[in-house]
Structure 1
Amino acid sequence: MLNKTLLPQSVARQLQTMIQSGELKDGEKIPSQRELSLKFGVSRPSLREALLTLETLGLVKTEPGRGTFVTKSGSPQARDTGNWRYADSYSVFDVFQTRVMLEGEIARLSAGRLTHYQFDLMEQATAAMEESWARQDLIANVEADLAFHGIIVSACSNAMLRDLYEAVRDKLTETQRQPIPRTDPERMKASVGEHRTIVAALRAGDSEAAGAAMQAHIRNTAQCAGLAP
């Protein structure tokens, strides 16, 4: 049985396929949560989580009192990022600012500690980002991005920083989805290049370069989301 994290992702992936294939057309109101819960055999909370993911990625938009609509068309620059689901606790700026500090230090402390196998996995994740973007599988694109960052975290020498990352991972994950609606092909190309710059610094065991490259990457991602932490 899928766990509570994988189940909403599975539903989100199925809905994304329906949108990308044209089964659910641009501007079309999607079926009610009750209908979709029955269709996919999932609980309402799992379905809502899936819809939140799709909304952050810019594939659907919920309008109070009207329902949820497909919104996949238009240039990236013309599309709004989805609602920030953690607004009651932290602003998206706060989370990006925390990522700059936390992941920059994690990358610095991971230099010289990654194995050849881990580097291979990071290269595979970066290639998967490119390939999934080319076919507009946005969910797979973000999953590959998360895998890349997670590998670096796993090599960090500071156990408390690793635990802190895991404790706020859901918020960090959301900032990796948040810029997607406004990401154009050139920005994705640049993001992939930044990943490779990070890998090069980590391979060289250059802790300061790795930390700086990670911080620059996160700041550039934040700027894509309209922020400058």
Structure 2
Amino acid sequence: MADDVHVLKHQSIAETLAREIRTGRLKRGSRLPGEHALAARFSVSRNTIRSALTELSREGLIATHSGRGSFVTFDGRPLDDRLGWARALADQGVSTETKLLRLERVDDPELAERLGVDSPSFFAIDRVRTLTHGPAVSLERSRIPGVDGLLDLPAHGLIGGSLTATLASVGLLADRGEEWVSAGPLDETDAAELGRPAGEWFLTARRVSWTATGELVEHVESLLDPLRFQLHLRFGSES
């Protein structure tokens, strides 16, 4: 019976915090109160709070990193790819699986010069995303800065398999950026990675994102199945 009460308590706390996050009371990028403060607020143990935070992390609402705390990663816009394509697709009821192709530290002076950053050191993270029991829908080649908090990334991997959560854990939260989208046929190399025929047309997206203070968050080039991803623009005055 005690276990059932514990489950109900942590689920109730997770639902309360999730509601505060989804309604914007706890905004994207903000740090949640510490475990002691949350335990006092809800009159429960720290273990119960940890279970609640785990639930929020599983839902993609927060990222928790030892020694730094928990940060809100949800911003209320399910199709905003700053949250990651997995979340964007999941919020549309599409279940996906991700295969990590590459995770290593690289030097790319040309990219550093193009982005206007001082260090040529990046982490290269290449992933293929597939529909569950279905075909590949995206190939993503991310380059993120080789900052101190990420130096052990090749050894320990992404937090919960999420690049968004990993970046948030070191305070790299996208506040602004640019994205370019075009379309064209897959070459043989990309087609092989995606398990698609060479020459099939895919969208090509290149995105650069920055923190509010001007730090690079991510440079990513993605190949996207046009049946699953669309470009949506708004213009003109709101009525």
TM-score, length-scaled by structure 1: 0.36
Larger radius of gyration: 2
Greater relative CO, 1 or 2 (CA 8 Å, sep 6+): 1
Higher helix share: 1
Normalized per residue, the structure richer in strand is: 2
Give the TM-score normalised by structure 2: 0.35
